[in-house]
Amino acid sequence: MKILASDHKQLNTYLKAASEWIGEETMRCFPDGEPKEYLYDLMRDYPQRGGKRFRPALVLLCCELFGGDPEDALTSAVALELFHNFALVHDDIEDESLLRRGKPTLHLQHGIALALNSGDALLGLVHETLLNNHSRLSSGLSLRIHRHLNKVMRATFEGQALDIGWVAKRTFPDRAEYREMIGRKTGWYSGKGPCQCGALIAGAAESELETVGSFGEAIGIGFQVRDDLLNLTENSENVAPSAVAGGYGKERGGDIAEGKRTLITIELLERLSETDATRVRRILLAEREDVSESDIDWCIAHAESTGALDAAADYCQKQATLASSALKKLNEHPAKALLGELVDYLTIDRKA
């Protein structure tokens, strides 16, 4: 079931096919043994719910972009998908999220202890899967890939520490601190890491790794801000996400209830009167169960009326411009055209 960029003229058909390929290979990784009820069924849960799988698709596309065989990149792409699902399990616990991909989160269904354990097992399976590269690729390249993805994981954990640390310490970041967090967490995890991984497998030069990394970082940051916008503007909590589709199966306004510090909250606090800014801080500092629907609606309405949502959309556009600039430096290839289409999804028309 080999997927090639040259077989797809549109990004959505490529991502759909790649998602199915990656999904099938991911499910093959899970042991078919005991304890199923308390471990392996839980590990399979989030992957079986679907998802966009655009991070592992970036690995495949960027491998092709530099002349590599996507089958050589499949194991690494699957490992990244497993890491993503591990991160979702833990992230949902840390954020006290209610929904994931349109259904109740794993810890709400099975309790925190079993969910944590299944997440830990998923992380172990990431490294077990990466060891399979040694049967197809050289040991030197396999080790380099493993080290690269370990760097991605570390950057993700560092960014997550800042993200949840601000909530735990009841502080609000400035723009520079926010940029540091999102660069480590989402810039690496959702863009730079996957893109450079695929290029690395294809044998790209150091200068090419740098360029495709710049493209990926802009894409990753842009999509995070886009998701933050969707969380406040899309009502898709009962819809599982799919390739390049809007909404990601979390409750509308969940970021506000969780007290998340986003670019939107930074923009909002700068634009409000001191009285209204104090109210926003109070809502974001409150325990989740103390945040009402009217609190969420009030924050969203003011984010709209003050232009905070528009400012976030403009930031997405800036990331799209950075990504396009980096992509132009790379050689022409069907994969490049699909990556260029990915940039278009960062353009959000707030006037529509």
Please give the distance of CA 83 from its chain centroid, rounded to a whole number. Answer: 11
Give pLDDT, residue 235.
Answer: 66
Q: What angle do CA 40, 41, 44 make, to 5 degrees?
A: 85
pLDDT tens digit string along 28-77?
999 999 999 999 999 999 999 988 899 999 999 999 999 999 999 999 99
Q: How far apart are CA 326 and CA 208, in angstroms?
A: 10
> Which residues have a Cβ under 8 Å from the Cβ of 45 and sit 6 or more positions away?
106, 109, 118
Give pLDDT, residue 349.
Answer: 65
Other beta carbons within 10 Å of 184: 20
Give pLDDT, residue 29.
Answer: 97
Burial 309-325 (b: 16+ CB within 10 A, else e): bbbbbebbeebbebbbe
Helix-then-strand count for the chain, H and E: 16, 2
Q: Which residue is associated with the tokens 């899967």?
A: 129
Please compute, for residue 166, the number of CA atoms within 13 A of its CA located in the half-sphere on the CB side.
22
Give pLDDT, residue 238.
Answer: 45
Give the chain's domains with CATH numbers.
Answer: 5-344 (1.10.600.10)
pLDDT tens digit string along 111-166?
999 999 999 999 999 999 999 999 999 999 999 999 999 999 999 999 999 999 99
Distances (CA, A) of 153 to 103, 185, 342: 26, 9, 23
Distances (CA, A) of 115 to 107, 153, 276: 5, 20, 38
Paired with 104 in beta bridges are 99
Q: How far apart are CA 319 and CA 314, in angstroms?
A: 9
pLDDT tens digit string along 217-226?
999 999 999 9
pTM: 0.92
pLDDT tens digit string along 10-29?
999 999 999 999 999 999 99
> What's the whole-number average pLDDT of the chain?
93
